[in-house]
Chain A
Amino acid sequence: MDTTVTAEVDFDVIVAGAGIAGSVTAYRLALHGHSVLLVERGPSPGSKNLSGGVFYCRVMEEAMPGFLLSAPIERRITRNCLSFLSESSFVNLDYADDRLAQSVTAVSVLRAKLDEWLAAQCEEAGVVLMPGVRVDALVTEDGRVTGIRAGGDELRAHVVVAADGVNSLLCRQAGVRGPEPLKHLAVGVKSVIGLPRRVIEERFNLTGDSGAAYAIVGDCTKDLGGGGFLYTNRESLSVGVVLRLDDLARSGESSAELHDRFLTHPVMEAFLRDGELLEYGCHLVAEGGLAMAHDLTRPGLVVVGDAAGLTLNTGFTVRGMDLAAGSALAAAGVVDAALKRGDYSQEALDAYPRELDKIFVGKDMRTFRRAPLFLENPRMYGDYGRLLSDIMYGVYNLDTTPRRHLAAGAGDALKNSPLALLPTIRDALAGVRAL
């Protein structure tokens, strides 16, 4: 097959979707001197977005040097809590570390602000940004993607980058992937609650621009697969639930009601008291991990970010934005080389997935490939939280009856719970292997 495109193009590269993956790809390619069009479906970049908000942003120092100093970040996350919530108890693994403030690997962000800022950096670098454009279809010629079609217009490019999110219609149209099974998808329902800065710092034991992030399982989802989250921003909290679609559909519960139920749980209510609802919305979240991986290239097409299925939920950390930026860096490098050689063939662009495998994106997706299956385990969302709170109750409820050693107390709690010993040990081992 002829691998060079000789026909006139409107841009060297067209990027569809101005989220983190799309904007970083566009920015890097513009820096390399290529003409880049960045189209965004929303009326402005960030307007379609609803991210829970912790960005493991170290990769951005490579993608956009000086990111931490100039980007609109909310807080530097120095406290991470893994919490088990039951109707009446709240057991926390609370990890605070000054070293996290020094190294700054995680920040909370509000995507409406961040995406707009990223797009502004793109425009400064020479990218042509076009919001309010929904790409209807890819244009293909002889099995090669040669442009996009929107509103009856066609624009041509040597390479199209699909950065159109978890539901990527462009990928489906290009035959890169089919519809995802429900168990790979979750729905996130989030509120942003405004509170004065001082109140947030008092309630979460924070100073300056340090921040806290809670990952919560158990009662917040009524034991359904998924979890709750709570992140501190400068003057607001991002809080909500993520619910696995297969579980949600089976249960007949309403995602909005589960969200409201979580926010009015006495533990959460104490965090949110007197706050003002600033934003509310829902979004599809990819949860399938490596199982969602699929081809990332076609002749003239590369896929980045959520559209590429690059999200990871390890139970401790929920990652998407860092993988988006990492994939964007890798894609931009490969597309730059392709443009310089004038070769946009499948073979040329297949350097991109190989590149991903070499960096943290591919490596982490492989390392945590068992995590989604482990997190499918329904015991994770109900029984273990209750067991944990029973053990802690035994430790602290000094009611003048003689205490027992922790191990014996735990054994009692396990006996009184619906859990059996062997599956519990199996789960623990599976957890150690998966996470």
Chain B
Amino acid sequence: MKIVVVFKWARNPLDARVSADAAISWPGVKLAASDDDPAAMEIAAALAAGDEVVGLTIGDGDTAWAAARGAARTVVVTDAPGETDSAATGAALAAAVRRMTGVGAVLIGDSAWDYAVVSALAGRLGWPAVAGVTAACPERGELRVTRRLGAATQALSAAGPVVLAVTANRAEKNVPGMKEVLAARKKPVEKITAADLNTASRYQVQTQGVRFPDTPPARIIDGGDPPTACEQLIAALRTDGVI
């Protein structure tokens, strides 16, 4: 069955620059594949069982990422909103999936970078969604899905098209080599816009500002005289209710 893998749909929060006034900027930072994306790609290849795997992504960054890992082609929604409005990102991804026919499952990294996109995508598609997925395989015309449930794992079966949000439990094993990356760049990439998908909507969510959590000012205890410093430290910890 045809499988769509959504990859590289968020920026790595560790790449954000947070300035002294808490303003967040992303100087030169592109959208990046999350730690969960390779696991989603691996499961996609297993589910497709030889059928087509299509990579789906948004915005900037490396469009050949999925192709280097086995996707036959890639669709990019070049102007899909990818920052503040998770519902809008999910809507653009869902619309792009709907343009394709015969899709049996959409796989997406269950990334902590923005949980809400996964729900928005499944909701817009109107498909069942399973999160925390660690494995999936086809079984008698259905999908057998394993997901993490607390410390245990749960086996599920799913019929019909489904959204699977995949959680990686290890780092990527077979990172593509130069030749695979070069070959991937020759695979077809279809660039579409939100207008093509009729999802170009007014942005309803806009950042008005960010601020750091309130924290009491740091107090520096002079350690010149250790016994006094210890007393001061204990007194301060008592005052703050720590001990």
Contact = CB atoms under 8 A, between A and B. Distances in A.
Interface of A: 10, 39, 44, 46, 112-113, 116, 128, 130, 133, 150-153, 155, 194, 276, 278
A84 to B, nearest CB: 33
B179 A153 contact: yes
In order of increasing CB-CB distance, the 9 nearest A-B pairs are: A153-B177, A153-B178, A151-B177, A153-B179, A276-B20, A150-B178, A155-B178, A152-B177, A276-B19
A155 B180 CA distance: 11
Contacts of B181: 130
A39 B182 CA distance: 12
18 contacts: A39-B178, A44-B28, A44-B30, A112-B28, A113-B28, A116-B28, A128-B182, A128-B185, A130-B178, A130-B181, A150-B177, A151-B177, A153-B177, A155-B179, A194-B19, A276-B19, A276-B20, A278-B17
Contacts of A44: 28, 30
Contacts of A128: 182, 185
B175 interface: yes
Contacts of B175: 151
Contacts of B178: 39, 130, 133, 150-151, 153, 155
B176 to A, nearest CB: 9
Contacts of B30: 44
Contacts of A152: 177
Contacts of A278: 17
A152 B178 CA distance: 9
Interface of B: 17, 19-20, 27-28, 30, 175, 177-182, 185
A92 B17 CA distance: 36
Contacts of A194: 19
B contact face: mostly helix, strand, loop, or mixed: loop
Contacts, number: 31
A24 B215 CA distance: 50
A62 to B, nearest CB: 28
Contacts of A155: 178-179
Contacts of B185: 128
A39 B178 CA distance: 10
Nearest to B21: A276
A32 to B, nearest CB: 21
A155 B20 CA distance: 46
Given A153-B177, A153-B178, 20 more contacts: A39-B178, A44-B30, A46-B28, A112-B28, A113-B28, A116-B28, A128-B182, A130-B178, A130-B182, A133-B178, A150-B177, A151-B175, A151-B178, A152-B177, A153-B179, A153-B180, A155-B178, A155-B179, A194-B19, A276-B19
B5 to A, nearest CB: 20
A72 to B, nearest CB: 11
Contacts of A46: 28
Contacts of A39: 178
Nearest to A276: B20
Most buried by B among A10, A39, A151: A151
B27 to A, nearest CB: 8
Nearest to B25: A278
Nearest to A275: B20
A161 B157 CA distance: 55
Contacts of A151: 175, 177-178
Contacts of B179: 153, 155
Nearest to A133: B178
A153 B19 CA distance: 41
A113 B27 CA distance: 10
B241 to A, nearest CB: 33
B214 to A, nearest CB: 21
Nearest to B17: A278
A194 B182 CA distance: 39
A325 to B, nearest CB: 22
Most buried by A among B178, B180, B185: B178
Contacts of B19: 194, 276
A43 B59 CA distance: 18
B172 to A, nearest CB: 12
A152 B179 CA distance: 10
B35 to A, nearest CB: 15
A328 to B, nearest CB: 23
Nearest to A149: B178
Nearest to B27: A112
Nearest to A152: B177
Nearest to A151: B177
B19 to A, nearest CB: 6
A116 B28 CA distance: 9
A267 B181 CA distance: 51
A278 to B, nearest CB: 7
Contacts of B17: 278
A139 to B, nearest CB: 12
